[in-house]
Structure 1
Amino acid sequence: MNEHNFPPNFIASLSAENGFDQENFINAHQFEDAPTSIRVNPFKPSAIKNIQHVPWCPDGYYLDARPSFTFDPLFHAGCYYVQEASSMFIDHIFKTINPNNDEAIKVLDLCAAPGGKSTLLNSALNPTDLLVANEIIKTRVPILTDNLNRWGTANTIVTNNDPKDFTRLKSFFDIILVDAPCSGSGMFRKDPEAMNEWSEGNVNLCHQRQERILADIYPALKEDGYLIYSTCSYSHQENEDILDWLCSEFDLESVRIPISNDWGIVETQSPVKKAWGYRFYPGKVKGEGLFASCLRKKENSGNLASFKNNTQQKLPGKELDQVRSYINNPDEFYYFKVNDDWMAINRNHKESLNILQRHLYIKKSGVIIGKLAGKDLIPDHELALSLIINKNAVLQTALNKEQAIQYLRRDNIDLSTDDKGWTLMTYEEHPLGWAKLLPNRINNYYPKEIRILSANPPREW
């Protein structure tokens, strides 16, 4: 690959960017493969062997080769997330601005699908903190929900709203991440097809869209709250120019993030307001293209009117007792019903849930526990993968790798057992989902929409 393989005027548009090395950049795209990296789930520890750390994220690791994640039961159990290494820098920013996390905070990931940065933020939060993961595009909400379900926490709410809808939530969030829709040039090595969509006109359109998104979301950030802004673009218009616009139009101050010289990250400043930004170039970092920055809000946009929901459900006590028996530390949770589904979310998020229900379209709140049929609970898949399940209250069936793949494909499972009833199917002690053991068969309740569809495992499996 040389300069002429990139879109017209692309290399020329980067020639003046801080830290841009044309020869190194072209060589990285021509001769170096995109590295494979994962971020482990700290709430579901599993064995990680012979792999190198991502320097700016303690939970991030590079793999020597790209395995078939589809045929790894630990992936489906939520033990790790396959994430591009540069984007894990958001973890470093978040822990820099929120080092102790002593007070409960509310965090918004505005453009959240497929869920990489949401699960990253969630890993850094306490149960008393709340994460709202929003996806603007309706068709992308299911994959976001699935990935957060795998992560297993109960302090997450998934919404499907336009940024302008958050204008009503004045001063609600302590931290807002806007990983903005962009021209995508940072993904050229990983996704060469993205080159066909790049143009200077598209860069300008993205700049305008980014301004609109940021203006819409600004009132929802508290005074002294933090805005984290990132793109997977190298274009000045989508990065440093946006920082100058933010600092000119709003009362925001730039936050400098400490980095190590060994990381290869290029520290940059916007031309007018000298706001700090961080550029990732393939060839200089072991990762793809990224721009990230952080700003602190220095004014008050007003306060959200208090809201008390006086129409709380009156839940039947006997049913509630049945549901609570499936939950670890049940007093820590607030229980409610949506249609026939029993749900649970951390108790201190009850008021926030009421507020968000009033202003936003909610797709997921906390964890779905299941439906009650007489004295029996029909458990939900979310409960199986959650961290709140009381494993002592349910039967568990351990599977080997071959059986686990059969289960994840919803195939018949070759299993010999005398147990009967609902069982939690596990692999290396990590739950995968539910099955029902009957006298002459096993009913597989793994959700059809997320089952493995690939025909056969690769040979090395």
Structure 2
Amino acid sequence: MEFFEANEIARPITIRTNTLKTRRRELAQTLVNRGVNLQPIGTWTKVGLQVFDSQVPIGATPEYLAGQYILQAASSFLPVMALDPQENERILDMAAAPGGKTTYISALMKNTGCVFANDANKARTKSLIANIHRLGCKNTIVCNYDAREFPKVIGGFDRILLDAPCSGTGVIAKDESVKVNRNEKDFIQIPHLQKQLILSAIDSVDANSATGGVIVYSTCSVAIEENEAVVDYALRKRPNVKLVETHLQVGKPGFVSYRGKHFDSSLSLTRRYYPHTYNVDGFYVAKFKKIAPSPHDVSKAGANEKELLARAEAEEEGIINDDFAEFDNDEDADLMQKSIKRSMKKKGINPSGTKAL
């Protein structure tokens, strides 16, 4: 009941100091002089400020326009803090828009190394690019791929942040439509996408990275299907990763069993956040360490193997079953030859006098 009641109350407005341009103490003093009533969020973050009320629009001050801070939910700091980016690393933010987490990664790296900020929705990359420019992040590359295409696009990252698309059951206070827009089908389809994305993230990380080999998975959902169930699936499908401590000062341990479902015991290392306990959006954070390369990282001969693996995974998910279409290569070759001959005849070439390719 406390959770449902907390969903009816708006979360506090929070901002994150952009350490590339200023310090929190200096920013706080400047904003106080402008008539903003604020205080630090808590001991667990050194860059967050909570705004109580303001005589000026907080999203249009000269400091905001100069890129000294960004409006960002406190819970969105957590995945980046768990990721713990180091200077001169190669990092991928798989679902980056509107850029709060990407710019935080860039700030922690002090504009060194390289951050790939990807988002599958091209329209959303506008806000991502705008925030990257405004906050002065110079080590960032924006790309627009379906994140399931990684590592075919590019792999070998030191760290990857996957803040996965989710049902939004943790941000009902921000978006009330979640209460009426979601149905049972969503809680089957969304976790399926999340499972594909997390496997893609694991396969895109370099297990031999000197400093990293880390994947952080997070959602703004409180649903077991999108959190523990997805992480447990990843552990079963990729035995070359293990869960490690997030080193976050706040958060409740993830579930190891729920309503008769039992998950890997290491899921207690993951962290859950609820609106009624920490006054932040509902959130979930899991941190993986890759301990060995995936077969997909090293095998080029694995085309047939990958097909079989993909089929097995799809069968387990119930997407395809045993009567899935089979292909007859000999019959296909015959049809292709006939098609080539027809095409040659149309062009006025004698097919019997030329070798059909």
TM-score (normalised: structure 1): 0.56
SS of residue in 1 equivalent to 2:20: coil
Which of 171, 175, 200 is 2:184 aligned to?
200
SS of residue in 2 equivalent to 1:294: strand
SS of residue in 1 equivalent to 2:162: strand
Q: Deviations over 1:3-30 (max 9, x none)?
A: xxxxxxxxxxxxxxxxxxxx32123234
Distance (Å, rounded) in 1 between the aligned partners of 2:96 and 2:137:
16
The match for 1:142 is 126
Q: Quick one: structure 1 residues 164 and 29, their matched pair in 2 at CA, closer, same or farther if it must change by over 3 Å?
A: closer
Aligned residue type for 1:299: A
The match for 1:272 is 263
The match for 1:165 is 149
**Is it true that 1:256 corresponds to 2:245 in the alignment?**
yes
Distance (Å, rounded) in 2 between the aligned partners of 1:178 and 1:259:
17
Which of 285, 293, 296 is 2:278 aligned to?
285
Distance (Å, rounded) in 2 between the aligned partners of 1:290 and 1:259:
13
Note if contact 1:40-1:59 (Cα within 8 Å) is conserved in structure 2.
yes
SS of residue in 1 equivalent to 2:109: coil
Q: Deviations over 1:229-252 (max 9, x none)?
A: 000111101000011001000021
The match for 1:84 is 73
* CA positional deviation for 1:71: 2.9
Which of 135, 159, 176 is 1:151 aligned to?
135
* CA positional deviation for 1:107: 0.5
The match for 2:306 is none
Q: Quick one: structure 1 residues 304 and 47, their matched pair in 2 at CA, closer, same or farther if it must change by over 3 Å?
A: farther
The match for 2:220 is 232
The match for 1:312 is none
The match for 1:75 is 64
SS of residue in 2 equivalent to 1:51: strand
Distance (Å, rounded) in 1 between the aligned partners of 2:152 and 2:200:
10
* CA positional deviation for 1:126: 3.4
Note if contact 1:177-1:228 (Cα within 8 Å) is conserved in structure 2.
yes
Q: Deviations over 1:346-376 (max 9, x none)?
A: xxxxxxxxxxxxxxxxxxxxxxxxxxxxxxx
Distance (Å, rounded) in 1 between the aligned partners of 2:232 and 2:298:
27
**Is it true that 1:52 corresponds to 2:53 in the alignment?**
no
Note if contact 2:119-2:144 (Cα within 8 Å) is conserved in structure 1.
yes
Note if contact 1:110-1:134 (Cα within 8 Å) is conserved in structure 2.
yes
Distance (Å, rounded) in 1 between the aligned partners of 2:150 and 2:63:
36
Which of 21, 26, 35 is 2:4 aligned to?
26
Note if contact 1:167-1:218 (Cα within 8 Å) is conserved in structure 2.
no
Q: Quick one: structure 1 residues 65 and 198, their matched pair in 2 at CA, closer, same or farther if it must change by over 3 Å?
A: farther
**Is it true that 1:242 corresponds to 2:233 in the alignment?**
no
Aligned residue type for 1:72: T
SS of residue in 2 equivalent to 1:243: helix
Aligned residue type for 2:68: C
Give runs of aligned pairs for residues 21-420 of structure 1, distance below 5 A: 23-30=1-8, 32-45=9-22, 46-49=26-29, 51-55=38-42, 56-65=44-53, 68-95=57-84, 98=85, 101=86, 104-168=88-152, 171-223=155-207, 225-250=213-238, 251-260=240-249, 263=250, 265-270=251-256, 271-274=262-265, 275=267, 276-301=269-294, 302=297
Q: Deviations over 1:105-133 (max 9, x none)?
A: 10100100011111111111133321110
Q: Quick one: structure 1 residues 170 and 297, their matched pair in 2 at CA, closer, same or farther if it must change by over 3 Å?
A: farther
More helix by share: 2
Aligned residue type for 1:38: I
Q: Quick one: structure 1 residues 206 and 196, their matched pair in 2 at CA, closer, same or farther if it must change by over 3 Å?
A: same
Q: Which 5+ residue runs of structure 2 have no aligned equivalent?
A: 30-36, 257-261, 301-357
* CA positional deviation for 1:196: 2.0
SS of residue in 1 equivalent to 2:46: strand
More strand by share: 1
Runs of 4+ deviating beyond 6 Å? none
Note if contact 1:134-1:159 (Cα within 8 Å) is conserved in structure 2.
yes
SS of residue in 2 equivalent to 1:228: strand
Q: Quick one: structure 1 residues 53 and 303, their matched pair in 2 at CA, closer, same or farther if it must change by over 3 Å?
A: farther
Q: Quick one: structure 1 residues 88 and 304, their matched pair in 2 at CA, closer, same or farther if it must change by over 3 Å?
A: farther
The match for 1:310 is none
State the percentage of identical aligned residues: 28
Distance (Å, rounded) in 2 between the aligned partners of 1:141 and 1:92:
23
Distance (Å, rounded) in 1 between the aligned partners of 2:223 and 2:69:
31
Distance (Å, rounded) in 2 between the aligned partners of 1:146 and 1:170:
24
* CA positional deviation for 1:212: 1.5
Distance (Å, rounded) in 2 between the aligned partners of 1:201 and 1:256:
33
SS of residue in 2 equivalent to 1:132: strand
Note if contact 2:218-2:286 (Cα within 8 Å) is conserved in structure 1.
yes
